[in-house]
Chain A
Amino acid sequence: MKEYFADLFAAVTSIAKGMGITLAHLFTKNETQQYLSEENPGARWQSVIVPEGLLQDRSRMRLHVKIEDCIGCKQCEKVCPVDCIDITTEKREKTDAPIFAADGTAVKQKVVQFDIDMSLCCYCSLCVYPCPTECIVMTPEYEFAETVKSEFLYRFAKETPAPPEPPKKETSDPVAAGGS
């Protein structure tokens, strides 16, 4: 009998306690943020714990290649664990005018094909580290949903090999587009 009433009492008090907590939360500030609203136009998550502007510093959401700097060393292709990078190079003629990457490395290979299949990418960022000219980078741009899978083939090389029309994917600079 004692147990019966103790049970009842425990039930009532614990339920009252829980209801107190939920009632208090009814009047506290909301933690979620509206995606694309007047208050949050940039579609960026405003973290409450990370100082403003620092959250995306190292974010790796989408690969981008500054193709002018690529020297065609294929290090990224080798290290990729899911084989999503595809590079073809041609030897540059000695007679061609010398080109240099941003850091001064001479470009000896002509990169005729630099494809990244973003639908395979596992965002591990392993390709970024070995790059000698830092031309392959991860950008914090994360909104790149497509309805057709072939749109995920990002073709960075300026000159593509002969075969038919390449898909009309604009490899626009994601940093400029979404870096805000």
Chain B
Amino acid sequence: MGLKRPDLETKISNLLSPLVVAGAGGALVLIALVPQLAALIREQLQANLSPTAAAVAASAIGVGATVFLVGQLPVFLIWFERKVAAHIQDRLGPMRVGWHGVLQSFADGIKLVFKEDIIVNGADRFLFKLAPFLVLMGAFSAFAVLPWHTGLVVSDLNIGLLYVVAITSLGSIGLLMAGWASNNKYALYGGMRSAAQMVSYEIPTAIVILSVVVQVGSLNLQDVISAQLGGFGNFANWHIFRLYGLNVIGFVLFFICGLAETNRSPFDIPEAESELVAGFHTEYSGIRFGLFFLAEYGAMFFVAGLTVVLYLGGWSGPFFEGPLVFFIKTLALVFVQMWLRWTLPRLRVDQLMALCWKYVIPFAFLVLLVAALASAGAS
């Protein structure tokens, strides 16, 4: 009995998968070379255009590049998560589409785009359509202040951290909107849960961020990183090793809050599939559902990236530094997020709140207090 699969499919995926692997490798090289490229482009622009036009063009290129990168990231992360999950569970995971299924996410993406766009009867059509974009906006605009290297940031805001806290809350409005507009009780529960969860976890997030701000003395993410440069092996100055080891607690707390903010397991109660079917996106299908998915993985990457910036020295590293170091560190944290998801059960909604108010917030205040005392002592 021979292979029954259509041969054409196999041929196409065999043809495409080296391209994709090569593309991924090329992207990594490109990420490594981004500072040089950026400098080159900036030089060219300044030579050929008026200063204002050059600045506008530079930020336009920056925005374009970031959006492109951030748009591609979830596709890779989804494949990565499926592979991690599969191997943790002694499975193989996607294997069919391309080499070890690397094209699976593309295939799924194409499927989602072509699927029928269903809006249920009784839904609030405007809000129903708006919600996924809002969620996506919340997740992706945060990347604007994420520094990849010195001067390599879309918008070098002075109040970068404040902006991050503000813009990531946009997502919860989107989720609540999706839950409400779906005209479905399960979706409503999901929306309500996500609102409650995000509002609660904003507080410890802000406090932990504050503790770092107190140590650095600036809200600018570039300043946060430059405060961590130098030291033994170029990593001894990372925040995680400072403040008498208390920053380790801060790091863990921030990581937990990040999980909660992005609705990742064990805090995935808004979309708890065994309780609420699919939570807020129960009624979504096709590309609107795909946007939620993109937003989730984009947010995952952003939260991991922010953790790296705040505690793990951003793009600085012991042997070499640059965007690639930042990328690898962030991916490692994303892997930990996935690893946790495939290990832990889900918390119940009241336990989630108890964890926030009884465990996370007191410890966050402790870290903030010590950080404040220490920086007061230093100055």
Contacts and interface: CB of A to CB of B under 8 A. Distances in A.
Contacts of A26: 84, 87-88, 339
A19 B90 contact: no
Interface stretch (B202-210, B312-320, B340-348): B340-348
A59 to B, nearest CB: 16
Interface stretch (A27-35, A49-57, A95-103, A126-134): A27-35
A18 B91 CA distance: 18
Interface stretch (B1-9, B52-60, B292-300): B1-9
B92 A19 contact: no
A120 interface: no
Contacts of B86: 30
Nearest to A141: B1
Given A43-B1, A180-B1, A30 B343 contact: no
Contact of A31 (B84, B88, B90, B343): B90
B344 A25 contact: no
Contact of B343 (A4, A18, A27, A41): A18
B89 A34 contact: no
B4 A25 contact: no
B106 interface: no
Contacts of A42: 1
A148 interface: no
Interface in B339-378: 339-340, 342-344, 358-359
Given A18-B344, A22-B339, A22-B343, A30 B91 contact: yes
Given A36-B3, A42-B1, A22 B342 contact: yes
B119 interface: no
B24 interface: no
Contacts of A23: 339
Contacts of B332: none
Given A15-B344, A19-B343, A25 B1 contact: no
Contacts of B3: 36, 41
B92 A34 contact: yes
B95 interface: yes
A8 interface: yes
A22 B90 contact: no
B340 A32 contact: no
B359 A32 contact: no
B145 to A, nearest CB: 31
A178 interface: yes
A31 B91 contact: yes
A15 B347 CA distance: 13
Query: Is chain B's binding surface mostly helix, strand, loop or mixed?
Result: loop
Contact of B1 (A29, A34, A37, A178): A178
A36 B9 CA distance: 15
Contacts of B84: 26
Contact of B89 (A19, A25, A41): A25
A25 B88 contact: yes
Nearest to A4: B358
Nearest to B340: A19
B344 A30 contact: no
A31 B358 CA distance: 42
Given A26-B84, A180-B1, A32 B342 contact: no
A37 B89 CA distance: 20
Contacts of A31: 90-91
A22 B5 CA distance: 33
A22 B86 CA distance: 11
Contacts of B340: 19
A32 B90 contact: yes
A15 B343 contact: yes
Contacts of B343: 15, 18-19, 21-22
A45 B3 CA distance: 15
B132 to A, nearest CB: 32
Contacts of B358: 4
Interface in B85-115: 86-92, 95
18 contacts: A8-B359, A15-B344, A18-B343, A22-B88, A25-B87, A25-B88, A25-B89, A25-B90, A26-B87, A29-B90, A30-B87, A30-B91, A32-B92, A34-B95, A36-B5, A37-B95, A41-B1, A178-B1
Given A34-B92, A42-B1, A43-B1, 9 more contacts: A19-B343, A22-B343, A23-B339, A25-B90, A29-B90, A30-B87, A30-B92, A31-B90, A32-B92
The 4 A-B residue pairs whose C-beta atoms are closest, nearest first, are A31-B90, A22-B343, A22-B88, A18-B343
Interface of B: 1-5, 84, 86-92, 95, 339-340, 342-344, 358-359
